[in-house]
């Protein structure tokens, strides 16, 4: 009897909770989790190879999945690929590895673990069933927005006092909102594409 395999593609942004959701989904299906780390190398840079930080992030992701899978007693098969065409590589490897499904995450319309364009492409063209998990926007987006606004205000000397008082208020609001949002992260929605 062939074991069920669920592909978990990755390009960037190691998020331990998200990875654990993927592993637990595989466990709930009695499946092997197949983390696939894709290191994007543009065609014009093939001679130079992948950037060191992309390679390190790939290794971190694969190790994180391994550790979490061991903790939850889920079989794992790890793969790393350097590619110039992420979407095509995912499709080809899903077929070659005979994956029974693919796990994709989105948060507030943005791809998580994968870039948004790749997630959109896979939703349109995937040849295997998809498990699309919609994560709540939560504190992650608010914190990144806060940091962007803070840094842009920091460089503007004319608005320094105003920005400082605004961001102090936003930080207080952020702490309250992040506590509320964290309590909702366990409510995941998954849908399967036929």
Q: What is the pLDDT of residues 92-125, one digit of tens each?
A: 999 999 999 999 999 988 999 999 999 999 988 8
Q: What is the pLDDT of residues 155-170, one digit of tens each?
A: 454 444 444 444 434 4
Q: Identify the pLDDT of residue 42.
A: 78
Query: 149: pLDDT confidence band, cut at 50, 70 and 90?
Result: low
- b vs e for 13-36, b when ≥16 Cβ sit within 10 Å of the residue's Cβ? ebbeebbbbbbebbbebebbbbbb
Nearest Cα neighbor of 192 from 131, 134, 126 is 131
Region 2-8: mean pLDDT is 88
Q: What is the dihedral of CA 13, 16, 17, 23, to 10 degrees?
A: 110
Collapsed DSSP state (helix, strand, coil) of residue 163: helix
Alpha helices in the chain (DSSP H): 16-28, 52-71, 86-96, 116-125, 138-154, 160-182
Region 17-29: mean pLDDT is 94
Q: Where are the domains of the chain?
A: 5-135, 139-180
Partner residues linked to 10 by β-bridges: 37
Q: What is the dihedral of CA 40, 86, 58, 109, to 10 degrees?
A: 110
- Considering the chain, what percentage of its residues have pLDDT values greater than 70? 68
CATH superfamily label, 5-135: HUPs (3.40.50.620)
- What is the pairing mode between strands 79-83 and 5-10? unpaired
- Is 163 in contact with 153 (CB distance < 8 Å)? yes
């Amino acid at each position: 009897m062939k074991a069920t395999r669920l592909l978990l593609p990755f390009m960037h942004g190691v998020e331990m909770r998200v990875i654990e959701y993927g592993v637990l989904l595989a466990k709930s299906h009695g499946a092997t989790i197949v983390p696939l780390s894709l290191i994007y190398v543009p065609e014009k840079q093939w001679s130079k190879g992948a950037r060191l930080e992309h390679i390190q992030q790939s290794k971190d992701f694969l190790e994180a999945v391994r550790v979490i899978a061991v903790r939850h007693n889920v079989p794992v098969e790890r793969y790393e690929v350097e590619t110039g065409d992420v979407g095509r590589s995912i499709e080809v490897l899903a077929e070659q590895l005979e994956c029974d499904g693919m796990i994709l995450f989105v948060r507030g319309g943005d791809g998580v673990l994968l870039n948004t364009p790749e997630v959109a492409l896979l939703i349109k063209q995937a040849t295997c069933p998809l498990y699309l998990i919609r994560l709540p926007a939560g504190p992650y987006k608010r914190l990144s927005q806060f940091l962007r606004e803070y840094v842009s205000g920091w460089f503007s000397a004319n608005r320094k006092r105003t920005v400082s008082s605004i961001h102090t208020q936003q930080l207080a609001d952020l702490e309250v909102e992040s506590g509320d949002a964290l309590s909702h992260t366990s409510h995941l929605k998954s849908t399967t594409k036929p």
